[in-house]
A and B are shown apart, each in its own frame.
Chain A
Amino acid sequence: MLDFSLYLLCGLVAGLLGGYLGLGGGIVMMPFLTVIAGVNVKAAVPVSITAIVVNSLAASSEYLKKGMVDLELVVILSVFMVLGNITGSLLSEHIPGDYTRLMLTVIVVYAAFSLLKGRRTTERMTFADNRARYLLITTVVAFVTGALSAVVGIGGGVVILPVLYLVIGLPLSTARGTTSLMIGFSAAAATTVYFLNGQIEPVIVSGVILGIIVGAKLGGFLGTMAKPLVIKLMLFSVLLYLAFRLAYEPVRELL
């Protein structure tokens, strides 16, 4: 009973933050499930991935209603990120994981500070406005992000969101809405694989889903009204935390 309440609370918090920022919530859920709820990592990963699908469903509706989702970009990014993911998974044995993690740490820290500094964007710009200019860069960026996510083992949302804002130049609101919808599609395949292999723990996932479906709806609604500065500061903190998590293991091994 107490455990179930903990899983529910975990889903609620991850959904609120994930929905608010347009992320999957995995970056919040994993430490919460493993450290606070005491779930082992092998059981927590499939639960977290399943919850991302639900989070995307709940939060993206709010962004869709406000016209804050670039659907064309969702499709292109999803296709190339999934292809990148497959390539990354196949190559992960041949790529030194520690160096990749450290390299990604530098990029994430750079992205965090760039995000805080901001960039000039037209608030109404969409991918369709500059399709010719951005098509190649979008596909390459999505592919590389997908591959890096697979090699390093982190969720796509927290990586692709700064990319959409800083590289492709989407407004922060559209970048969040677009990320929110696309992460659900890329997580669905992994969820199916985990489910077929019997790796999803029913009790944990039920509690987390119930929490996240409410939290993400509320987070998505609040996120559509959020001030850009608040979002930037929160994303900055999340990215710095991600950088810490990425660098911790390789640095500890080096020392």
Chain B
Amino acid sequence: MREKIFKVDTLIRLQQVIWYIILMYFAALAALFMLDFEGVLELAGYGIIFIIATTALRLVVMAEEFRKSGLRRFWALSYLLILILAGIVIGDYLL
């Protein structure tokens, strides 16, 4: 039963930290919107970049947990998924 070794604690903790950061960041953005702050649109863009980057990070953490559990096939599939998603973005950017 190799699956029993698989630990989701790291993934849960990471997701909770990201949740707090996004909540605080976008709550601050909302306040800045109300105050008509000048650079607020640019800051919103950074927020979206953070969301995208942390999604990739979550996938990497999941992949590494698969590796630690000895589930090599799922480890490889996780990185394949990252590659496919990156490929879609790069493909769209280049074409």
Contact = CB atoms under 8 A, between A and B. Distances in A.
Interface residues of A, number: 47
Interface in A203-221: 203, 205-207, 209-210, 213-214, 217
Most A C-beta atoms less than 10 A away, residue of B6, B27, B34, B92: B92
Contacts of A192: 52, 85, 89
A233 interface: no
A189 B56 CA distance: 10
Contact of A75 (B12, B52, B74): B74
A71 B6 contact: yes
Interface residues of B, number: 46
Given A65-B12, A188-B56, A205-B44, A196 B89 contact: yes
Contact of A195 (B48, B80, B85): B48
11 contacts: A57-B18, A71-B65, A79-B80, A185-B55, A188-B85, A191-B48, A195-B49, A206-B30, A206-B33, A210-B29, A210-B30
Interface of A: 1, 4, 8, 50, 53-54, 57-58, 60-61, 64-65, 67, 69, 71-72, 74-76, 78-79, 82-83, 86, 126, 128, 184-185, 188-189, 191-193, 195-197, 200, 202-203, 205-207, 209-210, 213-214, 217
